[in-house]
């Protein structure tokens, strides 16, 4: 997404994940708290004055309470999601984007800026269907629920039922 951008765990730089994820949100919140402590007063108060304690849900909490910095951070994250989705649409044209992970707890505070940025960056926008961008119904639990569901399958992919000797 960003040539020469933030280093990523995969070894490259500027990957989408480094801009459109919960860890990106926390990184930017910590940076804001360090560089703009007056503007981050509400956030710093919530975490006992230590910016190392900042979590994604803290940012969502202050944004829900109307804090300008919190809203700004979620908007920025949402815009990255939307811009990336627009690039994906250029190649793949999916019918829908389902956004999961902890960040969707922020709901429309992230999804609305994502939808706006998506429409603004969609190539040949007049000739495409605008894919809806929605929150995953299981939010941050999707991964663990999926893992539990996998554990209920046998090696052939059949569900292990109550009447099954192996269950
Ligand atoms: Zn990467």
Q: How far is the CA of 18 from the centre of ligand 1 (A)?
A: 7
Is position 98 within any domain?
Answer: yes
Q: How far is the CA of 23 from the centre of ligand 1 (A)?
A: 13
| Weakest mean pLDDT among 19-33, 43-57, 78-92, 150-164 | 150-164
Overall residue count recorded for the chain in this entry = 167
| Measured distance CA(52)–CA(30) in Å, rounded | 7
pLDDT band at 48 (very low <50, low <70, confident <90, very high): very high
Residue 46's pLDDT is what? Answer: 96
Tokens of 8: 């990523």
Closest to 18 in 3D by CA, of 80, 95, 102: 80
Q: Is the pLDDT of residue 69 over 80?
A: yes
Q: How far is the CA of 142 from the centre of ligand 1 (A)?
A: 22
pLDDT band at 167 (very low <50, low <70, confident <90, very high): very low
Q: How far is the CA of 74 from the centre of ligand 1 (A)?
A: 21
Residue 20's pLDDT is what? Answer: 94
Q: 93 with 123: CB under 8 angstroms?
A: no
Is position 61 within any domain?
Answer: yes
Is position 150 within any domain?
Answer: no
pLDDT in tens, 148-163: 989 998 888 888 875 5
Q: Which residue has the tokens 């804001």?
A: 32
Is position 40 within any domain?
Answer: yes
CATH of the domain at 55: 3.30.420.40
Is position 164 within any domain?
Answer: no
Mean pLDDT of 74-89: 96
Residue 65's pLDDT is what? Answer: 96
Is position 161 within any domain?
Answer: no
Q: How far is the CA of 80 from the centre of ligand 1 (A)?
A: 15
| Measured distance CA(57)–CA(1) in Å, rounded | 25
Is position 166 within any domain?
Answer: no
Residues spanned by the domain of 94: 16-136
pLDDT in tens, 123-143: 887 788 899 999 998 888 888
Give how many domains the chain has, as a whole number: 1
């Amino acid at each position: 997404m960003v040539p020469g951008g933030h280093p990523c765990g995969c070894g490259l730089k500027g990957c989408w994940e480094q801009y459109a994820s919960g860890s990106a949100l926390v990184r930017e919140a910590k940076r804001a708290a360090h560089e703009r402590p007056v503007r981050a007063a509400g956030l710093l108060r919530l975490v006992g004055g230590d910016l190392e304690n900042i979590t994604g849900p803290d940012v969502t909490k202050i944004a829900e309470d109307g804090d300008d910095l919190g809203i700004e951070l979620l908007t920025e994250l949402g815009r990255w999601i939307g811009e990336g989705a627009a690039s994906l649409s250029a190649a793949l044209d999916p019918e829908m984007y389902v956004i999961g992970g902890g960040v969707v707890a922020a709901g429309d505070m992230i999804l609305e800026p994502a939808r706006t940025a998506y429409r603004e960056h969609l190539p040949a926008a007049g000739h495409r269907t605008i894919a809806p961008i929605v929150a995953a119904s299981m939010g941050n639990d999707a991964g663990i629920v999926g893992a539990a569901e996998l554990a209920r399958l046998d090696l052939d992919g059949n569900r292990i039922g109550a009447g099954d000797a192996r269950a």
